[in-house]
């Protein structure tokens, strides 16, 4: 019997709520908004508010708020935002010990209740969290992916568009590497409708945009005292749709490398084809020497974090 897709959102906080709003509005499936028992009221309240929102906006999907993992059973897509967001002055890495415990708990439940799902991790520090999710859940690597590159690239896209006075719709930016200060905005692949960015903008301005992109999350944390949620949610929904609708989109995602780019047993942001098979392919693109060196540095920082999590 045909049935609707089921989307489980683990964490009903700022990003979780926006994910639920987008998933409902775009009607990609029925939504289960999960949080810990102390926050069950929040999850149920947001779910009810969003179902009522459908009566105004004209969508009709089922949205359930819960703190019971049984309600997530059999989900097609699981998006994980469980954890603590950054406070001003904190780096994503400062979150490691707190969020590691949380991700392990979530991964154990994914293993038993959602073993056939495509899992998108958003919790920070992203690359270490997604590594842990795969390790503990035992799901195949192609069905466990981290959301970072789509967001970081979107940030860079906007900064370039504003600087050049063109629509962000025509800018293509690509940010690879770990989701932290060492991320790698790959300027050689940034274009405005195919026109290489370096022919349109001076080096100083481009360098400033690269720096602003790497600190793009922190800039928002400083302004509002917690991390961003609109663009992170949209980025994860784009990835979920690529899977659910077998779109074969080539997106920068934190994917499990088994030799690609010279990295083994490591999650890091690389261009991936996302379709019905999950991460169907990691695309190897040519990087110039400087970009490769930056990616290596970023990979080393991620590996350090993963090694640190092994001791926690």
**Which residues belong to the active site?**
179
CB of 64 to ligand APR, least distance (A): 15
User: Closer CB to ligand APR, residue 106 or residue 190?
Assistant: 106
Angle 22-123-5 from CA coordinates, rounded to 5°: 40
User: Closer CB to ligand APR, residue 41 or residue 259?
Assistant: 41
CB of 165 to ligand APR, least distance (A): 31
Separation of alpha carbons 252 and 249, rounded Å:
10
CB of 108 to ligand APR, least distance (A): 10
Measured at CB, which residue is nearest to ligand APR? 13
Helix (H) and strand (E) counts in the chain: 9, 14
User: Closer CB to ligand APR, residue 107 or residue 257?
Assistant: 107
Separation of alpha carbons 254 and 131, rounded Å:
9
- Residues with Cβ within 8 Å of 125's Cβ and at least 6 positions away in sequence, in order, are 92, 93, 95, 96, 99, 179, 180, 305
Tokens for 38? 């102390």
Going by their DSSP bridges, the two strands 77-80 and 6-10 should be labelled as: parallel
For residues 265 and 258, the answer to whether their CB atoms sit within 8 Å is yes
User: Closer CB to ligand APR, residue 81 or residue 298?
Assistant: 81
Separation of alpha carbons 248 and 251, rounded Å:
9
CB of 228 to ligand APR, least distance (A): 7
* Site residues (vs ligand APR, CB under 6 A): 10-16, 34-36, 39, 81-83, 85-86, 95, 99, 102, 105-106, 122-124, 226-227, 229, 232
């Amino acid at each position: 019997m045909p049935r609707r897709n089921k989307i489980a959102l683990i964490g009903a906080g700022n990003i979780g709520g926006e994910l639920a709003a987008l998933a409902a509005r775009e009607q990609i499936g029925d939504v289960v908004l999960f949080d810990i028992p102390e926050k069950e009221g929040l999850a149920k309240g947001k779910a009810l508010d969003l179902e009522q929102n459908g009566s105004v906006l004209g969508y009709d999907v089922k949205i359930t708020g819960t703190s019971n993992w049984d309600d997530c059973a059999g989900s097609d897509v699981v998006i994980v935002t469980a954890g603590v967001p950054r406070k001003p002055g904190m780096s994503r890495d400062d979150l490691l010990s707190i969020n590691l415990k949380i991700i392990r708990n979530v991964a154990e439940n994914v293993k038993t209740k959602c073993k056939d799902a495509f899992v998108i991790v958003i919790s920070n520090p992203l690359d270490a969290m997604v590594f842990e999710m795969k390790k503990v859940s035992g799901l195949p690597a192609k069905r466990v992916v981290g959301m970072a590159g789509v967001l970081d690239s979107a940030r860079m896209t906007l900064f370039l568009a504003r600087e050049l006075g063109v629509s962000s719709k025509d800018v293509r930016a690509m940010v690879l590497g770990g989701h932290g200060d060492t991320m790698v905005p790959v300027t050689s692949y940034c274009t405005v409708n195919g026109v290489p960015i370096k022919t349109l903008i001076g080096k100083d301005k481009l360098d400033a945009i690269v720096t602003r992109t790497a600190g793009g999350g922190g800039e928002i944390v400083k302004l509002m005292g917690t991390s961003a949620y609109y663009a992170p949610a949209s980025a994860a929904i784009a990835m979920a749709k690529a899977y659910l609708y077998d779109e074969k989109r080539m997106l920068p995602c934190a994917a499990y490398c088994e030799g690609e780019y010279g990295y083994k047993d490591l999650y890091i942001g690389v261009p991936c084809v996302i379709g019905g098979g999950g991460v169907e392919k990691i695309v190897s693109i040519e990087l110039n020497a400087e970009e490769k060196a930056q990616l290596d540095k970023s990979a080393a920082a991620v590996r350090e974090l993963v090694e640190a999590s092994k001791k926690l």
